[in-house]
A and B are shown apart, each in its own frame.
Chain A
Amino acid sequence: MTLLEFASGPGLQWALWIFVFGVVWRLIGALFLLSRKDLTKPREYNSVAAGVGAIISRSAPAHAFEKSIRFQHVTGYAWHFALFISVLFFAPHILFFESVLGFSWPHLPNTIILVTAAVAVAVLIALLIRRATHPVQRFISNADDYISIFVVLISLITGILAFAHVGARYETLLAIHLLSVEVMLIWFPFGKLMHAIMTMPARYQAGTAFGRRGIKA
Chain B
Amino acid sequence: MNIEAMSLQDFRAKVQQQCEGVPGQELSDEERVRRAKKMFMKKLNGHRAVDLDSCLQCGMCAEACHFYEATQNEKYAPVYKYRPLRRFYRREMSPMRWFYRPFTRDITVEDLKEWRHLVYDACTGCGRCDMICPMGIKISAAIRVVRHGLAAAGYVPDEMRVIRNEQRDQNTLFGVGAEQLKALVAKISAQGVDIPLDREQADVMLLTTAVEVLLFPDTLAASARILNKAGVDWTIRSDAFEAANVGIITGDDPTMALAIRRIVDKAKACSIKTVLMPESGHAYQTMRWEGATEMGEALPFEVLSMPEFISAEIQAGRLNLEARSNGASVTYHDPCRLARKGGVMQQPRDVLAALGLEVRETPTNQRENYCCGGGCGEFVLCGAADLRQKAFEIKKREFDETGADKVVTGCANCRINLMIGADNAGWETPVTSFVETVADRLAN
Q: Which residues of A contact B (CB under 8 A)?
A: 22, 25-26, 28-41, 43, 54, 58-59, 61-65, 68-69, 72, 76, 134-145, 189-190, 192, 194-195, 198-199, 201-207, 209, 213-217
The proximity string for B residues 53-81 relative to A, scoring 1 for CB distances below 8 Å and 0 otherwise, is: 11111111011100010001011010110
Known: A40-B293, A54-B136, A190-B96. A213 touches B46 (CB 8 A): no
Interchain CB contact (< 8 A) of A64 among B68, B289, B342, B363: B363
Interchain CB contact (< 8 A) of A136 among B50, B77, B96, B340: B77
Q: Are B96 and A137 in contact (CB under 8 A)?
A: no
- Taken together as a complex, chains A and B put the C-alpha atoms of A143 and B79 apart, in Å, by 16
Interchain CB contact (< 8 A) of A203 among B135, B292, B296, B364: B135
Contacts of B131 in A (CB 8 A): 62, 65
- Taken together as a complex, chains A and B put the C-alpha atoms of A68 and B368 apart, in Å, by 13
The proximity string for B residues 428-439 relative to A, scoring 1 for CB distances below 8 Å and 0 otherwise, is: 000000000000
Q: Are A38 and B293 in contact (CB under 8 A)?
A: yes
Interchain CB contact (< 8 A) of B95 among A29, A43, A59, A76: A29
Q: Which residues of B contact A (CB under 8 A)?
A: 44-60, 62-64, 68, 72, 74-75, 77, 79-80, 93-96, 99, 103, 130-138, 288-293, 295-299, 302, 340-343, 345, 363-364, 367-368
Q: Are A136 and B59 in contact (CB under 8 A)?
A: yes
List 7 tightest A-B contacts by C-beta distance, closest first: A29-B95, A206-B136, A214-B343, A64-B368, A202-B54, A35-B45, A203-B136
Q: Are A140 and B57 in contact (CB under 8 A)?
A: yes
- Taken together as a complex, chains A and B put the C-alpha atoms of A65 and B65 apart, in Å, by 11
Contacts of A141 in B (CB 8 A): 57
Known: A140-B80, A215-B340. A194 touches B53 (CB 8 A): yes
Interface of chain A, main secondary structure: helix
Q: Which residue of A lies closest to B296 (CB)?
A: A39
Q: Are B103 and A40 in contact (CB under 8 A)?
A: no
Q: Are B53 and A39 in contact (CB under 8 A)?
A: no
Q: Are A198 and B80 in contact (CB under 8 A)?
A: no
Q: Are A215 and B367 in contact (CB under 8 A)?
A: yes
Shortest CB–CB separation between residue A175 and chain B, in angstroms? Answer: 27
Q: Are B55 and A213 in contact (CB under 8 A)?
A: no
Known: A31-B50, A61-B134, A198-B54. A39 touches B340 (CB 8 A): no
Interchain CB contact (< 8 A) of A139 among B48, B80, B93, B134: B80
- Taken together as a complex, chains A and B put the C-alpha atoms of A69 and B132 apart, in Å, by 9
- Taken together as a complex, chains A and B put the C-alpha atoms of A213 and B285 apart, in Å, by 10
Q: Are B77 and A139 in contact (CB under 8 A)?
A: yes
Contacts of B53 in A (CB 8 A): 26, 30, 194, 198
Q: Are A40 and B136 in contact (CB under 8 A)?
A: no
Known: A40-B290, A139-B80. A190 touches B99 (CB 8 A): yes
Q: Are A30 and B58 in contact (CB under 8 A)?
A: no
Q: Are B364 and A64 in contact (CB under 8 A)?
A: yes
Contacts of A34 in B (CB 8 A): 45-46
Interchain CB contact (< 8 A) of A33 among B44, B133, B289, B343: B44
Q: Are B94 and A58 in contact (CB under 8 A)?
A: no
Contacts of B54 in A (CB 8 A): 195, 198-199, 201-202
Q: Are A139 and B57 in contact (CB under 8 A)?
A: no
Known: A38-B293, A40-B291, A202-B51. A140 touches B59 (CB 8 A): yes
Contacts of A38 in B (CB 8 A): 293
Known: A202-B50, A213-B289, A213-B341. A61 touches B132 (CB 8 A): yes
Q: Which residue of B lies closest to A69 (CB)?
A: B60
- Taken together as a complex, chains A and B put the C-alpha atoms of A22 and B53 apart, in Å, by 13
Shortest CB–CB separation between residue A42 and chain B, in angstroms? Answer: 10
Contacts of B340 in A (CB 8 A): 215
19 CB-based A-B contacts, threshold 8 Å: A29-B95, A30-B46, A31-B46, A33-B93, A38-B293, A39-B296, A61-B60, A61-B134, A62-B131, A65-B60, A69-B63, A72-B60, A76-B134, A134-B59, A143-B103, A202-B136, A215-B340, A215-B343, A215-B367
Contacts of B363 in A (CB 8 A): 64
Shortest CB–CB separation between residue A131 and chain B, in angstroms? Answer: 9
Shortest CB–CB separation between residue B253 and chain A, in angstroms? Answer: 11
Q: Which residue of B lies closest to A43 (CB)?
A: B343
Given contacts A58-B136, A139-B80, A192-B55, 6 further A-B contacts (CB under 8 A): A58-B135, A61-B132, A137-B59, A199-B135, A201-B54, A209-B47
Interchain CB contact (< 8 A) of A41 among B134, B298, B367: B298
Contacts of A25 in B (CB 8 A): 95-96
Q: Are B74 and A62 in contact (CB under 8 A)?
A: no
Interface centre among B46, B77, B293, B340 (most CB of A within 10 A): B46
Known: A38-B293, A41-B292. A205 touches B50 (CB 8 A): yes
Q: Are A36 and B45 in contact (CB under 8 A)?
A: yes
Q: Are A62 and B368 in contact (CB under 8 A)?
A: yes
Interchain CB contact (< 8 A) of B136 among A36, A205, A213: A205
Contacts of A214 in B (CB 8 A): 343
Q: Are B50 and A39 in contact (CB under 8 A)?
A: no
Shortest CB–CB separation between residue B148 and chain A, in angstroms? Answer: 14
Contacts of B290 in A (CB 8 A): 40
Shortest CB–CB separation between residue B97 and chain A, in angstroms? Answer: 9
Contacts of B342 in A (CB 8 A): 213
Q: Are B56 and A40 in contact (CB under 8 A)?
A: no
Contacts of A41 in B (CB 8 A): 292, 298-299, 302
- Taken together as a complex, chains A and B put the C-alpha atoms of A207 and B49 apart, in Å, by 16
Contacts of B292 in A (CB 8 A): 39-41
Contacts of A215 in B (CB 8 A): 340-341, 343, 345, 367
